Amino acid sequence: MEELNNLMHGFSVALTLPNLGFMVLGITLGILIGVLPGLGGANGIAILLPLTFSMDQTSAIIMLSCIYWGALFGGAITSILFNIPGEPWSVATTFDGFPMAQQGRAGAALTAAFTSSFVGAFFAVLLITFLAPLVAKFALKFGAAEMFAVQMLTFCSFVGMSKEPPAKTLAVMALGFAMAAVGMDTVTGTLRMTFGYPELLKGFDFLIAVIGLFGIGEILLTMEEGLAFKGKSAKIQLNVVLQTWKELLRYWRTSLRSVLVGCWMGVTPGGATPASFMAYGLARRGAKDKDTFGKGNIEGVVAPETAAHAAGTSALLPMLTLGIPGSPTAAVLLGGLLIWGLQPGPLLFTEKPDFVWGLIASMYLGNIVGLIVVLTTVPWWAAILRIPFSVIGPVIIVICAIGAYTVHSSIFDVVMMLVFGVFGYLFKKLRYPLAPLVLALVLGDMAESSFRQSMLLSQGSLDIFWANPLVAGLMLLSFTMLLWPIVPALKHYLRGRG
Amino acid sequence: MTKFGKWAGRALVTAIATIGLTGVAQAWEPTKPVEFVVPAGTGGGADQMARFIQGIVAKNKLMAQPLVVVNKSGGAGAEGFLEVKGAKGDPHKIIITLSNLFTTPLATGVPFNWRDLTPGAMLALDQFVLWVNADAPYKTAKDYVEAVKSKPANTFKMAGTGSKQEDQIITAMIDKATGKKMTYVPFKGGGDVAVQLVGAHVDSTVNNPIEAEAHWRGGKLRPLCIMDSEKLPYNEKVTATQSWGDIPTCKSAGVPVEYLMLRGIFLAPGVTQDQVDFYVNLFKKVRETPDWAEFMKKGAFKQTFMTGKEFSDWLGKTEAMHYGLMKEAGFLAK
Across the range A70-95, mean pLDDT stands at: 84
Stretch (H or E) spanning B184: strand B183-187
CB-CB neighbors (< 8 A) of B188 in chain A: 186, 449
The mean predicted confidence, pLDDT, of chain A is 83
pLDDT for A324-383, tens place per residue?
Answer: 666 666 766 776 776 676 777 777 777 778 788 888 888 888 888 888 888 888 888 878
Closest residue of chain A to B76, computed from CA coordinates: A184
Q: What percent of chain A has pLDDT over 90?
A: 20
Which contiguous run of DSSP H or E holds residue A301? Answer: helix A299-314
Nearest to B88 by CA among B270, B302, B304: B270
Closest CB from B42, B168, B214 relative to A331? B42
Chain A, residues 57-76, CB within 8 A of chain B, namely none
What gap in Å lies between CA A48 and CA A406, rounded to an integer?
15
Contacts of B202 in chain A (CB under 8 A): 457
Taking alpha carbons only, the member of B297, B282, B294 closest to residue B63 is B282
What pLDDT, on a 0 to 100 scale, did the predictor assign at position B22?
A: 46
Q: Which H/E stretch holds residue B78?
A: helix B78-86
ipTM: 0.83
- Fold that domain B34-126+261-329 belongs to in CATH: D-Maltodextrin-Binding Protein; domain 2 (3.40.190)
State residue B278's pLDDT score. 95
Tell me if A200 sits within 8 A of A193, measured CB to CB.
yes
Task: Pick the closest to residue A73 from A34, A129, A103, A46 (CA basis).
Answer: A34
**pLDDT digits 0-9 by tens, A291-324:** 888 888 999 999 999 999 899 888 888 777 777 6
Question: Is pLDDT of B167 > 90?
Answer: yes
Please compute the mean of the pLDDT values over residues B211-223 and round it to a whole number: 89
Q: Is the pLDDT of residue B12 over 80?
A: no
- Nearest Cα of chain A lies from the Cα of B163 at a distance, in angstroms, of 5
Task: Please tell me the distance from the alpha carbon of residue A5 to that of residue A7, in angstroms, as a whole number.
Answer: 5
Distance CA B199, CA B217 (A): 16
* Residues B52, A347: C-beta atoms closer than 8 Å: no
Is there a shared CATH topology between the B34-126+261-329 domain and the B129-246 domain? yes
Q: Where along chain B do its domains lie?
A: 34-126+261-329, 129-246
State the Cα–Cα distance between residues A401 and A409, nearest whole angstrom.
11
Mean pLDDT across the stretch A204-209? 84
pTM, 2 dp: 0.85
Q: What is the mean pLDDT of residues A273-288?
A: 87
Interchain pair A201, B165: CB under 8 A: no
Domain boundaries, chain A: 2-465
B58 at interface of A, judged by CB pairs closer than 8 A = yes
Tally of CB atoms within 10 A around B230:
11
Q: Is domain B129-246 classified as CATH 3.50.50.60?
A: no
Tell me, yes or no, if B248 comes closer than 8 A to chain A by beta carbon: no
Q: Are B331 and B139 in contact (CB under 8 A)?
A: no
- 285-304 of B, contacting A, C-beta below 8 A: 294, 298
